[in-house]
């Protein structure tokens, strides 16, 4: 694969470049400033982009906006974002308009070269990668399980399926859900499989599917309360100026 890296630390950039080159991938460019990223992607036309959420100039969440701008300019670009700590707002923003070809990992996962390379391969071919620990982070945004679902895809779920999904959104395992609802783990698995099907969650590792189902849940539940808190409208994001800077 042809890859672009966006990372503020020169040491981490060099480390990523070494690992990826050792696995046979071509690093075509590396930058530290989010403003340079969209133009760089247009010029180099990589297969995938790996970027830190926090980039220059302000070191907040510039990496998210820059990656989405770059992907809008280059259809089919695989994007893998990473962050030192989980932030539900970043994940929600990344997946606000779709999940294909997008991924989000916590930074300590980057130490596993096999997982890093596999994650990049997944997003490059249109798959989805989500760090399973994001379920716990997203749980703080969850609506209590007793609240009724609104319209949209959640309306297709049965009451029992919504109960299971709400508990998944609270970060509970299948066995914990079974104990809470006084049902078997097998029943939980069947209801969760039905949830995945009705919400059109793409096939893949169950950890990823659980997180994506939670994103559906939070998006639709919160849309009636304060849609700007977790799900900002994509067209309200300011486009970053395409300023080319040296890596």
| CATH, residue 11 | 3.40.50.2300
Structural domain tally of the chain?
Answer: 2
Torsion-angle region of residue 144: left (phi > 0), alpha (psi -120 to 50) or beta? beta
- β-sheet with 48-52: strand ranges across: 26-31, 2-6, 48-52, 78-83, 102-106, 128-130
pLDDT tens per residue across span 104-123:
999 998 889 998 999 999 99
Quick one: 148 and 27 in the same domain?
A: no
Collapsing DSSP to helix, strand or coil, 241 comes out as coil
pLDDT tens per residue across span 37-83:
999 999 999 999 999 999 999 999 999 999 999 999 898 999 999 99
Q: What does the alpha-carbon distance between residue 79 and residue 2 come to, in Å, rounded to a whole number? A: 12
Facing residues of 190 across strands? none
User: What is the domain range of residue 16?
Assistant: 2-131
- Is residue 240 assigned to a domain? no
- Is residue 84 assigned to a domain? yes
pTM score over 0.75: no
Q: SS3 sequence, 203-215?
A: CCCHHHHHHHHHH
Quick one: 124 and 183 in the same domain?
A: no
């Amino acid at each position: 694969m042809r890859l672009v890296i966006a990372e503020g630390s020169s040491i981490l950039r060099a480390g990523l470049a070494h690992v990826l080159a050792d696995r046979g991938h071509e690093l075509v460019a590396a930058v530290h400033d989010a403003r340079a990223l969209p133009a760089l992607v247009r010029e180099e036309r990589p297969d995938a982009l790996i970027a830190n959420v926090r980039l220059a100039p302000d070191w907040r969440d510039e990496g998210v906006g820059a990656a989405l701008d770059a992907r809008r300019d280059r259809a089919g670009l695989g994007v893998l974002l990473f962050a030192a700590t989980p932030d539900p707002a970043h994940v929600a923003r990344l997946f606000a308009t779709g999940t294909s070809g997008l991924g989000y990992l916590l930074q300590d996962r980057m130490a596993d070269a096999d997982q890093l390379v596999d994650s990049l391969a997944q997003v490059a071919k249109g798959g989805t990668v989500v760090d399973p620990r994001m379920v716990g982070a997203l749980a703080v945004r969850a609506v209590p399980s007793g609240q009724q679902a609104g319209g949209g895809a959640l309306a297709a779920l049965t009451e029992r399926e919504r109960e299971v999904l709400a508990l998944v959104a609270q970060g509970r395992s299948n066995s914990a859900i079974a104990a809470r609802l006084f049902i078997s783990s097998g029943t939980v698995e069947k209801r969760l499989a039905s949830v995945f099907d009705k919400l059109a969650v793409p096939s893949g590792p169950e950890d990823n599917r659980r997180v994506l189902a939670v994103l559906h849940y939070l998006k639709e539940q919160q849309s009636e309360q304060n849609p700007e808190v977790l799900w900002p409208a994509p067209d309200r994001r300011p486009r970053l100026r395409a300023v080319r800077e040296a890596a």
